[in-house]
Structure 1
Amino acid sequence: MSASTAFANADFETLICDVPRPHVARITLNRPKAMNAYTFAMTQELQRAVACYRDDDDLRALVLAGAGDRAFCTGGDIGDSEPEHRERVQRAPMGMGREMRDGMQPVVAELRRIDKPSVAMIQGYAVAGGLALALGCDFRFAGPAAKLGDTSNRFGLLPDEGGAWLFPHVMGYDKALKMSLLHEIYDVETAFRLGLVTEIVSGNLEERTLSFCEALAGKAPLAVRLTKTMMMRALDSTYQSSLGDAQLAVMIANPADDVREATQAFREKRAPRFKGR
């Protein structure tokens, strides 16, 4: 069994994993009746699924989606879906902080840290922790009915999955603070203007997202991974430090077989056959 087959055959209770296109992985949050609100159990499965994508060199792009058409993810489940877990958390010293540290925070962080691209495919609501999860991805493709915002403060809760950093970095401090304090939800056009959405898809959202990921997967894998790493590191570093990262990265990328293959393909007027080496 190949690694990508293992990914597609992974057994999860709250997720569906498949490989819908060559080299393209998809993780679908599968709690449509709860508008794909996440539970602690789901965060544990998400960590495993994202790690499986990260470690499989045959998988080169990831789609993160929500089941159904009502929501991508509406944040943490505030219902009684895990009463025994909730009781343990409330009883333990620092329990709620540890739950966040071991739950959704590492999922969002790993999506950003992983050196392969990811795309959030947003139908319906992506709010609170669901918006943080979407912003953990590199790209966000949204249908015309998508709604994005932060509803945490509506319940006296906080943007604690990573949103307190992600929201102002994407939108600007004042707009992010206004969104969170007033628990605003935006239509897709407004979300696009604010930078929360990469592309609005008026047609077939799934087809457009998968085609985009297939295009990403067709690029030189080593160059894609190093480019993402360089740009992600540059967000938290100085210009001079970024130049240093580039100098180190070219020593890996430039001698690669894929560079010679791309050069030969250009001369022969054909599409390159990248192998990620």
Structure 2
Amino acid sequence: GQRVFHKLSLLPMPTVAIVNGFAFGGGLELALACTFRLATENARMALPEIKLGLIPGYGGTQRLPRVVGESRALELIMTGRVVKPEEAERIGLVNRVIKGEPLDSGASFAREFSGFGMLALGYAREAVQRALDLPVSEGLKVEADLSTLAYQTEDAAEGMEAFVAKRNPQFKDY
């Protein structure tokens, strides 16, 4: 499970998990491996492994603190408490609580970033992920390197030309 979820977390394109119902244990760990998490009003999330004398084993102890902070993560992991959508949004466990048809809402959310160049999205995601493991001074070097790579793409040239021409860019992902 860790290997599969780690591969998901490393995908260069953004991923969106839609929690519609129960996401307990591995289900929540799967959602945590995604770039973004959305929850319907009937979603319930928990890492209840402690109630079985276990701990999360598919990345929950590593990803949850990065998403909600150490103290909240410890509380949720050490109590196995169920989190409802409103609290999940308030503590940053989910990006948004959605209404209506879940897949339509998820697609609408994805459209907010899907028109941008995939390379730039990937570089931005990598810079943020790597920042979590580095001091700010080292993270700034990573950001500078990735920004330099982004500037060298055809998509960057297209984006800047479109800005000057006051038109929408047509990214080609290279």
Same fold (TM over 0.5): yes
Q: Which residue does 1:205 correspond to in 2?
A: 102
In 2, Cα distance between the equivalents of 1:256 and 1:173?
38
In 1, Cα distance between the equivalents of 2:136 and 2:71?
25
Q: Which residue does 1:143 correspond to in 2?
A: 40
Larger relative contact order (Cα-Cα within 8 Å, sequence gap ≥ 6): 2
RMSD over aligned Cα atoms: 1.6
Aligned pairs for 1:116-265 within 5 A: 116-265=13-162
Structure richer in helix, relative to its length: 2
In 2, Cα distance between the equivalents of 1:135 and 1:117?
13
In 2, Cα distance between the equivalents of 1:113 and 1:246?
17
**Residues 41 and 99, structure 2, Cα contact 8 Å, conserved in 1:** yes
**Residues 37 and 95, structure 2, Cα contact 8 Å, conserved in 1:** yes
Aligned pairs for 1:47-126 within 5 A: 104-126=1-23
Unaligned ranges ≥5, structure 2: none
Q: Which residue does 1:270 correspond to in 2?
A: 167
TM-score of the superposed pair, with normalisation by structure 2: 0.91
Deviation of the 1:138 alpha carbon: 1.1
1:173/1:221 CA distance change after superposition, 3 Å: closer
Deviation of the 1:263 alpha carbon: 2.1
**Which structure has the larger Rg over C-alpha atoms?**
1
The amino acid that maps onto 1:180 is I
1:186 match: secondary structure: coil
In 1, Cα distance between the equivalents of 2:146 and 2:36?
23
In 2, Cα distance between the equivalents of 1:261 and 1:215?
19
Q: Which residue does 1:27 correspond to in 2?
A: none
1:157 match: secondary structure: coil
Per-residue CA deviations over 1:63-121 (Å, capped at 9, x if unaligned) read xxxxxxxxxxxxxxxxxxxxxxxxxxxxxxxxxxxxxxxxx101221222222211101
Deviation of the 1:171 alpha carbon: 2.5
Per-residue CA deviations over 1:209-236 (Å, capped at 9, x if unaligned) read 1122233221022111111111110011
1:185 match: secondary structure: coil
In 1, Cα distance between the equivalents of 2:168 and 2:90?
36
Structure richer in strand, relative to its length: 1
2:94 match: secondary structure: coil
The amino acid that maps onto 1:173 is E
The amino acid that maps onto 2:13 is K
In 2, Cα distance between the equivalents of 1:233 and 1:198?
20
Quick one: percent identity of the two aligned structures?
32
Deviation of the 1:130 alpha carbon: 1.1
**Residue correspondences, number:** 174
In 2, Cα distance between the equivalents of 1:160 and 1:150?
10
**Residues 99 and 105, structure 2, Cα contact 8 Å, conserved in 1:** no
Deviation of the 1:154 alpha carbon: 2.0
1:159 match: secondary structure: coil
